[in-house]
Amino acid sequence: MTLAPRGPVPETTHPQLTREVLAAAIQHAREGAVLAAVDADGGGPALVLANGAFTTLTGWAAEDVVGQSPEWLAGLTGDRPGVARIRNAIRQDQPYEGELVLVRRDGSELSVEVIVRPLRPRAGEETTHWLLLVRDLLDRKRLEQQLWQTQKIGAISQLAGGVAHEFNNTLLAIAGYTNLLLEGIPEGDPRRGDALAVERAATRAARLIHQLLAFSLPRPLQARAVDLNDVVRELQQLLERVIGEGIRLVVDLAPNLGTVYADYSQMQQVLVNLVVNARDAMPLGGTLTITTANT
């Protein structure tokens, strides 16, 4: 760290806060920090300090920065409107916060938040230094992107849940009318087999819709005694579609399996997640075995 003798560091009412203590505080800041001093004759500010975080962030070391004017920093970005706003704030002796795209020493670009603050020895006195904090926006933008994706998935899930509910109501109507038809078709009539096929298809579709609703809509946990064999049997056809043609699904269920106390839908989600992970771990295909047992 280098400190140029240009201009005084702001005075303080606390006698132990010396120039070195203030410089050390800036040096240990987590954000990139650059300090500019206004000369005693009222000239433009000149850069007198750049901390280690600034070097880590931009690649520009303290010896590259000290002695330069703030115009040098402006040369690190092609964001002319952003630079103009910073210049205008300094000209008006006002603080500023905004975003810029800086150019690192290696030529790569970096989105940053810039915070500019005037430093005065005492309230009402003239500004003697300017502090510029530079904060990497990559993490924040990544979090914003993740939040946007989460909101998007939530909206799609809500839409899918609504469509599934409507489809489920349609299936209930199909099943109801099929039952009425079966009541009027005697045993041995060839039409009865067709009606039974419709009923089985509607039942399978309703079961699939129930599974989709369990995955798409958040709801409170409802723990109860659960037979994991039932969970596997109910999901078996769905799991066979999930794993694709390259993987063979083998189910080995214990005949006298004890029950577990759990949320039925949550156990379904656990099983689907396990199967999906196993599928992704076998890109060349293979055999996926689901086994239940008392342990």
Q: What is the mean pLDDT of the chain?
A: 79
Q: What is the pLDDT of residue 290?
A: 95
The residue to which tokens 């005065």 are assigned: 120
Mean pLDDT of 148-161: 72
Q: What is the pLDDT of residue 71?
A: 66
The more confident residue out of 202 and 21 is 202
Residue 8 has pLDDT above 80, yes or no: no
The residue to which tokens 């656990």 are assigned: 270
Q: In angstroms, rounded to a whole number, what is the distance separating the alpha carbons of residues 149 and 135?
A: 24
Give the phi and the psi of residue 210 in degrees, each rounded to 5: -60, -40
Q: What's the pLDDT tens digit per position in 30-47?
A: 888 888 888 655 556 788
- Average the pLDDT over each of 42-46, 190-194, 227-231, 234-238 and give the range with the smallest value: 42-46
Percentage of the chain modeled with pLDDT above 70: 84
Give 241's pLDDT tier (boundaries 50, 70, 90).
confident
Residue 15 has pLDDT above 90, yes or no: no
- Give the CA distances from residue 263 to residues 224, 253, 258, in Å, rounded to whole numbers and listed in that order: 6, 20, 15
What is the per-residue burial (b if ≥16 Cβ within 10 Å, else e) of 145-162?
Answer: eeeeeeeeeeeeeeeebe
Structurally, at CATH architecture level, domain 19-136 sits in 2-Layer Sandwich (3.30)
Q: What is the pLDDT of residue 74?
A: 65
Mean pLDDT of 201-209: 78
- Average the pLDDT over each of 55-64, 77-86, 98-107, 222-231 and give the range with the smallest value: 77-86
Q: In angstroms, rounded to a whole number, what is the distance separating the alpha carbons of residues 105 and 97?
A: 23
Mean pLDDT of 159-170: 75
Q: In angstroms, rounded to a whole number, what is the distance separating the alpha carbons of residues 120 and 97?
A: 18
Q: Which fold has domain 138-218?
A: Helix Hairpins (1.10.287)
| pTM over 0.75, yes/no | no
Residue 214 has pLDDT above 60, yes or no: yes
Which residues does 279 contact at the CB level (< 8 Å), separation at least 6? Answer: 242, 243, 244, 247, 288
Q: In angstroms, rounded to a whole number, what is the distance separating the alpha carbons of residues 4 and 123?
A: 25
Residue 228 has pLDDT above 90, yes or no: yes
Q: What's the pLDDT tens digit per position in 252-279?
A: 999 999 999 998 878 887 888 888 889 8
Residue ranges covered by each domain of the chain: 19-136, 138-218, 221-295
Mean pLDDT of 77-98: 81
The more confident residue out of 167 and 160 is 167
Residue 2 has pLDDT above 50, yes or no: no
Return the closest-CA partner of residue 23 out of 7, 6, 40, 35: 35
Structurally, at CATH architecture level, domain 221-295 sits in 2-Layer Sandwich (3.30)
Q: What's the pLDDT tens digit per position in 101-127?
A: 888 888 888 888 888 888 887 777 788
Task: Point out which residues pair with 223 in neighbouring strands.
Answer: 263
